[in-house]
Structure 1
Amino acid sequence: MGDHPFVAILAFGIALLVPGVLSKRLNVPGPILLVPFGALVGLLPAMRGLHVQPEVVLNVFLPPLIYRAAFLTAPRESRQDAIPITVLAVGLTTATALCVMVAAGLAVPGLPWAAALALGAAIAPTDPVAATSVLQRVGAPRRLVTILEGESLLNDGVALTLFGLALSGLSGPVTVADGVVELLRVVCGGILYGLALAWVIGKVRRVFHDPGSQITLSLLTPFLAYLPAEQLHVSGVLATIVTGFTLGISPQGVLQPASRLTGQVFWRVLSHLLESTLFVLLGVQVMDVFHEVRDRPWTQLALTAVVIVAVVIVLRLAWTTLVLAPVRAGRPIERRQRVVLGWAGMRGAITLAIALSIPLDAPNRALLIFLAACVVLVTLGGQATTLAPLLRRLGVGEPEEEVQEEAMAREAILEAALARLDDLAADDRVDDRTAEVFRQLFELRLDRVREVLGETEGGEGETAPESHHKGLRKELVRAQREKLQHLYRKGVIGADTMRRLDHELDVEERRRVSGGA
């Protein structure tokens, strides 16, 4: 970082903070501004000589990003749409990587197939963060969000497996038979290791009870999944995905209710920092990338970038509108929704992480990073900013039954709490006065839910009884949580509704632990 590390750290921090403020005011995706701010920071003398080693990107940035995505996956919804998710995550990702490999090989004379495949593997996986945030903001069907998130989770594993094969090709000749055998070994080994680690973490978590230790364990988990798996020469990505998914569908998870609120904030901030840092690092290295590709004619660079971007966008639109058309998974995906899925294929942090992890001695490394950055910026700048108008133009909105789902879930868990309260009062475990106080509170919330079905926030402005009734409040929270999990298992509500209401119960549980504050 040169001779002025303080200046470098300060400039880097500004590059992380300012674009976030400007993006909200300009209503554009933050990454679009992070890259140019990073480029400006890269011009500072204090930032000269800053180079990110490929192994740092793979070993530090990827594990927590992949783990969090896997942990938050909706299992039942993903299972219901397993066919379209697989068609996109496996079929489209593989097709994209191969088509980009061919296009890059034709556009860049002398580019080895392994280097071209590395570029294809970097560009192939989508990043659903920008797309899903737009979809949720405009009230798009939750099914589209589920498909995009499920696709992004699986295509990370597919792309990074292809990237591993490309790296093997860069280091030595690889036959088709050797590649197939190696692929099977890497995939199966990663899955088995991930399942074993999830079982171990599930046992170990019972030892820790304080929030700090639990959050520390949750932070260590993705690295315990990724790094040892890579040392065993199996897929660290698949191991991380399997570990995160297995713990995510477990009722206990890694964090206990009293720690989940703090843990959620911690992971949200950590993911934001990691993703933002990747974009800024790309911007910092832009000048170096330009310097290394300056000998190439700018017309050739522009044409190559246009070809690669066109292949990525056109192939996805064709795949979602044509290949997904005959897919039947419960109910068919409407043509309008398939168009939205096609236009929602933005690239982001994972693409940058893979591109920046291309070995330093790889042929045309700077050119490959340049092309990957072009795809990221064009898809974020063009598709993310036009997705909301496209949704409105196509009339793709959230069905009424999904809007009412949350209110019906609230009604069910409040009725479960009242039933549990009646049982406790009947057994003389709660005195009549205390029972009546809680009964009035929950009946008030229930009346509001029934009055404005789907429009209430469930008890804002209400205050639960004081801390000397902590034991009763714990029983009522437990009854509501059990009812909520029952509704999800039976398919009455979706994962988003369950997590939103479970979060409110965590708040109630935290209030109990903190003495009613």
Structure 2
Amino acid sequence: MEVLVVIVLGLLGIAAAATIGPRLRVASPLLLVLLGIVVSFLPFIPDIEIDPEWILAGILPPLLYASAIAMPSMEFRREFGAISGLSIGLVVVSSGLLGLLFAWLIPGLGLALGIALGAIVSPTDAVATSIVKRIGVSPRIVTVLEGESLLNDASALVLLRSAIAATAASVTIWDVVGDFAFAVGVAVVLGWLVGRVNLWVRSRVTDATVNTVISFTVPFLASLPAEALGASGLVAAVVAGLVTGRGAIRSLSPGHRISDARNWSAIELILEGTVFLILGLEFSTLLDDLSNERVGIEVGVLLALAALAAVVAVRAGYVAITLWILARRRRRAAAMRPRIEQIQQRLDAHDLTERAETAVEEAAAGERGPDAADEPTAADRGRPERRRPDGPRLERVRRMLRRKAADIDYFLAVPLGWREGAVIVWAGMRGAVTLAAAQTLPNDTPGRSLLVLTAFFVAALSLLIQGGTLSWFIRLVKPAPIDTRAVGEERAEVNRLMHTVAERVTAERRDVTETARAKGEAGRELVRKLRLEIIAAQREALLEARDDGLYSSAALAGALDVLDAEELSMELRGEA
């Protein structure tokens, strides 16, 4: 009964924080951490200590999966260079430098445990994106922060495992690299397979409720086998989510996708709130453990402040280098853009020439008679055989050029400057993953309570200092805001695309509309079928535009939502 009371009160606290936070202009995770700290000191509340395996294996996989299915695939692909650098390179660099710092500050700790503690405090949390989204900064910043938080947990945990192993045996750098490559490679394969099978199975399940229940198992179907094989379960869950999110529009019905979105949104709110509430509730227990080792709390606070300052400094340096590399790539891309346009113009001119020659040949064949079409002309007999380009291959080349041109336009339109970089640096907050990872340290680790409490203070101070001042910091540095005019123009272009597709399908099915006018109920049924064909064609055109990168995910998502709503409305009326 007591457990049920705690669960109910916890859910009410999460709902209250999500409701009150925006009104107070404070992120709800910060309120939950503070609430947990206050509650942990109440005399009638027992000491709370959660097995870290519940967080690492029970909460994080579905939480990261929920974020992955909502991640725009096109923007994730474009920003993958920056995301992979922050989630892997920055974690490795931070762990190494912090390891040296901790080994110097804590007597008898050793370099291996120092690197382990560095890996614990290195991964960032996704809580910053909720604050950044509310303020309305460039979508590129949001994509980079979300993508980093999806992948850096796994890289930090793999590095932590290798560092702990190094405390008991000799481990070379190649052992760590091999372990990391195996953990990520196997996880990517398993996640991709689970994501594809998930879409295949659920596309054949008609009941939306059953479909959603199956979706709740997907992150665990990906993470548990990966962990059993020694790979990263978190990476597997993320990859399964990315595959599902990208393919759901083509594989699942609108009703299933809407049901999925609502249910996973609720699950994400509960799990994220639970993680931060636990972070605060464990505070008093950690203090008791530290007092048993006769170490003052001020030691943990000072270590945490030093670690947090070092983390921010290392992150600033790494982001500065990343921005310099991106600026160089942007300049090279700008120089490449005219060349791509020239190639596209040549292909278009070649296509027009081919069509004109074909029309002339057909006209000449028609003048000579029906049997003369296959006869070679005098000009053909005097020249070698002309090889026509392969149609499908030529179209693939055109599509590749369109995607490359769209990517260049994207990077040129919204560059990442020092203002955006400053936001990315300050928004790199630590969260509950840091505390959960710290609690995986072996029980015989020297000074374990101090290390765990230091990790807690790094996470808590990061949330309170960086999270509490992020809105003010963004107003101070003034990064590029969302260009509302460009967004409006882009949406207008998407609407024109949908209108053009509708006109094309209607023109192709002119016989249907003419037949529908002459018939009663049967004619109305033909019109309804024609409308479903138009919706399907419009959706496919939008998805092709998404794959080519012609429009932003926000503009395409709005148009796709309209199509889903219309099709779902027809289904509810029994017209589909």
Contact 1:15 1:38 in 2 (8 A): no
Q: 1:133 to 1:414 in 2, by over 3 A?
A: farther
Q: Does 1:185 align with 2:268?
A: no
Relative distance call for 1:418 and 1:45 in structure 2 (3 A) is farther
Structure 2 residue 481 is the aligned partner of structure 1 residue 397:
yes
Structure 1 128/6 Cα, relative in aligned 2: closer, same or farther at 3 Å? closer
1:137 aligns to 2:134 (yes or no): yes
Deviation digits for residues 264-314 of structure 1 (CA, Å, limit 9, x no counterpart): 011111011111101111222110001112322233222111101101112
Equivalent residue, structure 2, for 1:241: 238
Listed one character per residue, the Cα deviations across residues 335-380 of structure 1 (whole Å, up to 9, x for unaligned) are 2222222222122344344345445554444333332332333333
Q: Matches of 1:349 and 1:421 in 2, distance apart?
A: 54
Pairing of 1:356-435 with structure 2 (within 5 A): 356-359=439-442, 362-395=445-478, 396-399=480-483, 400-428=485-513, 431-432=516-517
Pick from 262, 272, 277 the counterpart of residue 275 of structure 1. Answer: 272
Equivalent in the alignment of 2:283: 286
The residue type paired with residue 450 of structure 2 is: L
Give 1:233 shift.
1.6
Matched, 1:223 2:233: no
Are 1:78 and 1:146, in contact at CA under 8 Å, matched by a contact in 2? yes
Larger mean Cα displacement after TM superposition, 489-498 or 70-79: 70-79
Are the aligned partners of 1:140 and 1:398 in contact in 2 as well (CA < 8 Å)?
yes
Q: Deviations over 1:166-195 (max 9, x none)?
A: 343456553434333333332322222223
Rate the CA distance shift 1:369–1:311 in 2: closer, same or farther, 3 A.
same
Which residue number in structure 2 is paired with residue 507 of structure 1?
565
Please give the alpha-carbon distance, in whole angstroms, between the structure 2 residues aligned to 1:280 and 1:83.
34
1:341 matched to 2:399? The reply is no
* Equivalent in 23, 26, 32 of residue 24 of structure 2: 26
Partner of 1:301: 300
Contact 1:409 1:487 in 2 (8 A): no
The offset of 1:64, in angstroms, is 0.8
Larger Rg: 2
Deviations for 1:249-274, whole angstroms, at most 9, x for unmatched residues? 22557743221111101111101111
Whole-angstrom CA distance in 1 between matches of 2:300 and 2:518: 77
Equivalent residue, structure 1, for 2:173? 176
Q: Find the aligned partners of 1:194 and 1:153 in 2 and give their Cα distance.
A: 14
Partner residue, 1:36: 34
> Which region of structure 1 is more displaced relative to structure 2, 354-363 or 161-170?
354-363
| CA shift for structure 1 position 468 | 11
Give the whole-Å Cα distance in 1 for the aligned partners of 2:518 and 2:432: 56
Instruction: Note if 1:76 corresponds to 2:160.
Output: no
Shift of 1:213: 1.9
The alignment partner of 2:137 has SS state of coil
Distance 2:14 2:44 in 1: 17
**Secondary structure at the residue paired with 2:203?**
helix
Equivalent residues of 1:102, 1:116 under 8 A apart: yes
Q: Is the 8 A contact 2:90 2:315 kept in 1?
A: yes
| Mean CA deviation greater in 47-56 or 251-260 | 251-260
Residues 391 and 397 in structure 1, CA contact (< 8 A), matched pair in contact too:
no
Task: State which drifts further: 144-153 or 419-428.
Answer: 419-428
Identity %: 31
Residue matched to 1:489: 547
Instruction: Kindly state the Cα deviation for residue 217 of structure 1 after the two structures are TM-superposed.
Output: 1.9
Report the counterpart of residue 401 of structure 2 in structure 1: none
CA RMSD of aligned residues (A): 3.0
Moved over 6 A (4+): 466-469
Query: Residues 58 and 357 of structure 1 are in contact (CA less than 8 Å); yes or no, is this contact kept in structure 2?
Result: no
The residue aligned with 2:157 is 160
Residues in 2 aligned to 1:355 and 1:510: alpha-carbon distance in whole angstroms: 47
Deviates more, 1:101-110 or 1:274-283: 101-110
Change (3 A) 1:482 1:287: same
Other-structure match for 1:461? none
Counterpart Cα distance in 1 of 2:14 and 2:460: 17
Contact residue 83 and residue 147 of structure 2 kept, 8 A: yes
Q: Given that residues 301 and 457 in structure 2 are in contact (C-alpha distance below 8 angstroms), is that contact kept between their aligned partners in structure 1?
A: no
Contact 1:61-1:274 at 8 Å conserved across structures: yes
Native 8 Å contact 1:89 1:152 kept in 2: yes
Q: Which residue of 1 aligns with 2:92?
A: 94
Q: Which moved more, 1:41-50 or 1:99-108?
A: 41-50
Q: Secondary structure at the match of 1:391?
A: helix
Contact 1:101 1:113 in 2 (8 A): yes
Q: Deviations over 1:33-58 (max 9, x none)?
A: 11222233334566425431122212
Range 352-361 or range 195-204, more displaced: 352-361
After superposition, the Cα gap between the structure-2 partners of 1:18 and 1:355, relative to the gap in structure 1 and judged at 3 Å, is farther
Change (3 A) 1:260 1:202: closer
Q: Which runs of 5+ in 2 are unaligned?
A: 331-410
Distance 1:46 1:431, change over 3 A: farther
User: Is structure 2 residue 254 aligned with structure 1 residue 257?
Assistant: yes
Is the Cα contact below 8 Å between 1:35 and 1:282 reproduced in 2? yes
In 1, the alpha carbon distance for the partners of 2:329 and 2:156 equals 24
Q: What letter is aligned with 1:162?
A: L
Matched residue, 2:55: 57
Match of 1:67 among 60, 65, 68: 65
Q: SS of the residue aligned with 1:506?
A: helix
Q: In structure 2, what is the Cα distance between the partners aligned to 1:413 and 1:45?
A: 63
**One-letter amino acid of the counterpart of residue 405, structure 1:** E
- The change in CA–CA distance for 1:391 and 1:57 in structure 2 (over 3 A counts) is closer
Letter in 2 for 1:397: P
1:134-157 CA-partner distances (Å, limit 9, x unpaired): 333333222222222222223233
Moved more, 494-503 or 45-54: 45-54
Contact 2:290–2:297 under 8 Å retained in 1 = no
Contact 1:309–1:375 at 8 Å: present in 2 too? Answer: yes
Distance 1:11 1:47, change over 3 A: farther
Alignment of 1:453-468 (within 5 A): none
SS where residue 117 of structure 2 aligns? helix
8 Å CA contact 2:120, 2:160 repeated in 1: yes
The answer for unaligned runs of 5 or more in structure 1 is: 436-465
Instruction: Pick one of 29, 45, 48 that aligns with 2:46.
Output: 48
